[in-house]
Structure 1
Amino acid sequence: MLFTDLGLSEPILRAIAEEGYTSPTPIQAKSIPAVLKGGDLLAAAQTGTGKTAGFTLPILQRLTSSKASSGKRLLRVLILTPTRELAAQVQESVVTYGKYTGLKSTVIFGGVGANPQIKAIAGGLDILVATPGRLLDLMSQNCVSLKDIEILVLDEADRMLDMGFLRDIKKILAVLPKQRQNLLFSATFSTEIKALADGLLNAPELIEVARSNSTNEAIAQLIHPVDRAKKHPLLAHLIQSNDWKQVLVFTRTKHGANKLVTQLEKDGITSMAIHGNKSQSARTKALADFKAGKLTALVATDIAARGIDIDQLPHVVNYDLPNVSEDYVHRIGRTGRAGSNGVAVSLVCVDEHQMLKDIEKLIKQKLPQEVIAGFEPDPNAVAQPIQLRSQQHQQSRKPRPAGSGGAPAKKAPAKRSSPPKRSFNR
C-alpha cells in the first residue's frame, strides 16, 4: 500500500514525499481511513509505530476538505499529550506534513513562559497541541476557547492516566462541544483505558497494532549480568570498547541519572541528563546536543524519555531495569525504528533478577545473557530491596493543580536528513 492509496490530498502527499516516504506503517494504514470516515477511534499502538502521523495526516486532510462554517479561522482540533516532549513531537509532525495546507497550529506546555503561547493563540489557529496543565491555565485566563473543537485527540492516554491527569482531562472534556470526533491512542487497552473510552467514545472503531508486550524484531536484546557497584564501569567499558557514538541510557531515579552523568564525564564520555527536575532550557539543550551528535550518552528517567523520537538511534541501555515491565518495551522501542536495526542492552544485578523474570514473562521470550570479562558478578551477592515505582510516585499520581504545566522535556527542533523511501515511524 502507498500513501497515494489513502485519499490524502496533493499538498499533504507532496509534504510526505519531500520527507522521503511512500508507504504507510500498519497503524497508519488502518487509522488514516478510520479517521477520514469521521467516527470515533480507539487505537492501541506503541510509541515508534508511526501513530503520530497516523492521526495528524487524516486530521490535516479533514480540515482542508471541510472549511469552518463561519469562514473564519477557528480552533477546530485539540490534541492532548502527557509530556512536553511528545507535544513538541506532535506539533513538529503537524507542521511538517501540513506546510502546504495553509493551516495554522501551535503547541503549549508548562515550564516556559506563557506569553508567546497566548500570542500564538490570539493570532488564530486551526490546531492546538497541548499538555493538560498549561491548557487549563490558559483556559482559566480566558486566553483560549474550545467551543469550536471538532476533533479531540488523546495521545498516549495510558501515560496521561499514569501521571494523574484524569481530573484535568475531565475538566477539559466538560467544556468541549458534545458533537465532535474523538480519537484515543494508548499503548495498552488496560481496564482504566477501557473505562475512559466507555465514557468518551461513541461506537468507536477499534485498531490494535503490535501488542503492548511485543518487542521489535529489529532490536537485538542482550543482558549483561553485573554487580551493582560495577554497573558504571561496565557501561563506560561498553561505550569506549565498542566506540558507541550515541547511547540513550535509562536510570530508575533522577538522582541516579545525575550521578551517572558525573561518573561518565570523568571517564571522558560526554553526557547530559534529562528528567523532571531539570529546567526546560537544560532539557532542550540536552536533546539538541544528543541529536546533533555532540553528546555520546543521554541519561534519562522513564517519564522524561517518553516520546523521544530520534531517527536511527543505535543503542539503548537499561542501566537500571524498570519496576514496571511494560516500560521495558517502551524504553527499547526508542531504537530499531523505521526499518533500521538497534541494540538494547540491560545491565542486571542481583537486585533485579525478579524484574528480569517479569519482563521475560511479559514479552514471552528468554533474553540472551553475556558476562563481560572483568565484570563477572559475585555469585554470593545478596539482593537488596528496590522501592517500587508505585511508592516512589504515590504523590505524583494524585490529582494535580491546573497550574502545574505539562511534564517532561520539550523536543528540541532538529533538521534531519531525508530518509530512504520506506514506511515511517513518526
Structure 2
Amino acid sequence: MPFKKLHASIKEKLESLEINTPTPFQSKSIPLIKSGANIFCTAPENSGKTTTLLLTTMQKLQCEEVGTAPRAIILVGDNEKAKALYDTFNEYTRRTSLRVYVCDEKLHIDLLKSEIFEGTDILIATPQIMNKLLLLNGVNVTQLKLFCIDDAEFLSQKTPLSNIMAITQSLAKCQFVIYSEKMHPFLKRFESYFMTNARTIGL
C-alpha cells in the first residue's frame, strides 16, 4: 500500500485522522510521483487529489526544514484557494519542522518578499503573485525540488496561462506535477515546454 512507504510523520498523521486505505487514485499516483517523474494527475472531484499533493510534497521534503529557500511551490487559482490549502497543509505538517507560507494577495509585495526571505519550505501562491515575486527577485528558486499546480482548470484563462509560462522559464530543473479533473488540450501543450517526458495518471 502507498501509505506504508511514506515518511513516519506522514503515517502518524494519517493514523490520527483514521485514514488507513488510499483511494484508487492515490494507489496509482503516489508511487509514480515519488519516482520523481513529471506527471499529469487527472481524476474527478473527491478522488483524493489534494491529499495526494499534501502527502507527496511532505514526502519529497522528508518532513523537515532545510535552508531558507522554498523547495516546493504550489500554485492555485485564487487567493481563497491558496489560504484554504495553507490551512490544510498546516494541519498535516503541525508535528514536523516544515515551514509553509501562503502569499496573500492582499498583502504588499515587499512584505511577502521579506517574509519569504526569512525561510520557508513550501510556498503557496497564485500565478500572478508568483510571477510578480520572480520579476522582483523576491523568491529564491535555486533549491526547488517540486512544482505543483492544483485544480489546474483555471489555466484555461489567458492571464494565468501566460503567468505559468513565464514562471516555468525562470525555474531550475525540478519535478512538475499538475492536478486536474481532465486532461485538457491547454495542459497538453505544456509537454513542449516544461512537462518533458510527462506521464499521465487518470481515473
Deviations 1:253-305 (A, max 9, x none): xxxxxxxxxxxxxxxxxxxxxxxxxxxxxxxxxxxxxxxxxxxxxxxxxxxxx
User: Please, what is the CA RMSD of the aligned residues?
Assistant: 2.3
User: Which residue does 1:131 correspond to in 2?
Assistant: 126
Residue in structure 1 matching 2:22, options 24, 27, 40: 24
Count of aligned pairs: 203
TM-score (norm 2): 0.88
Matched, 1:173 2:171: no
The whole-number CA distance in structure 2 between the counterparts of 1:114 and 1:32 is: 35
Instruction: Label 1:91 to 1:194 Cα distance change in 2 as closer, same or farther (>3 A).
Output: same
**Cα distance, 1:51 vs. partner?**
0.5
The whole-number CA distance in structure 1 between the counterparts of 2:96 and 2:62 is: 7
TM-score (norm 1): 0.44
User: Which residue does 1:191 correspond to in 2?
Assistant: 185
The whole-number CA distance in structure 1 between the counterparts of 2:35 and 2:165 is: 26
Residue in structure 2 matching 1:107, options 102, 105, 110: 102
Deviations 1:348-379 (A, max 9, x none): xxxxxxxxxxxxxxxxxxxxxxxxxxxxxxxx
**Cα distance, 1:117 vs. partner?**
3.1
**Cα distance, 1:106 vs. partner?**
0.6
Higher relative contact order (CA 8 A, sep 6+): 2
Paired AA for residue 3 in structure 2: F
Q: Calculate percent identity across the aligned residue pairs.
A: 25
Could you tell me whether the CA contact under 8 Å between 1:41 and 1:206 is conserved in 2?
yes
Matched, 1:90 2:90: no
User: Which residue does 1:152 correspond to in 2?
Assistant: 147
Could you tell me whether the CA contact under 8 Å between 1:77 and 1:127 is conserved in 2?
yes
The whole-number CA distance in structure 2 between the counterparts of 1:100 and 1:152 is: 23
The whole-number CA distance in structure 1 between the counterparts of 2:156 and 2:84 is: 20
User: Which residue does 2:3 correspond to in 1?
Assistant: 3
Residue in structure 2 matching 1:201, options 166, 190, 195: 195
Paired AA for residue 54 in structure 1: T
Instruction: Label 1:161 to 1:75 Cα distance change in 2 as closer, same or farther (>3 A).
Output: same
- In structure 1, list runs of 5 or more residues that go unmatched: 210-426
Structure having the higher helix fraction is 2
The whole-number CA distance in structure 1 between the counterparts of 2:104 and 2:134 is: 13
Could you tell me whether the CA contact under 8 Å between 1:84 and 1:131 is conserved in 2?
yes
Paired AA for residue 107 in structure 1: V
The whole-number CA distance in structure 2 between the counterparts of 1:100 and 1:111 is: 29
The whole-number CA distance in structure 2 between the counterparts of 1:196 and 1:142 is: 24
- In structure 2, list runs of 5 or more residues that go unmatched: none
Higher-Rg member (1/2): 1
Instruction: Label 1:140 to 1:199 Cα distance change in 2 as closer, same or farther (>3 A).
Output: closer
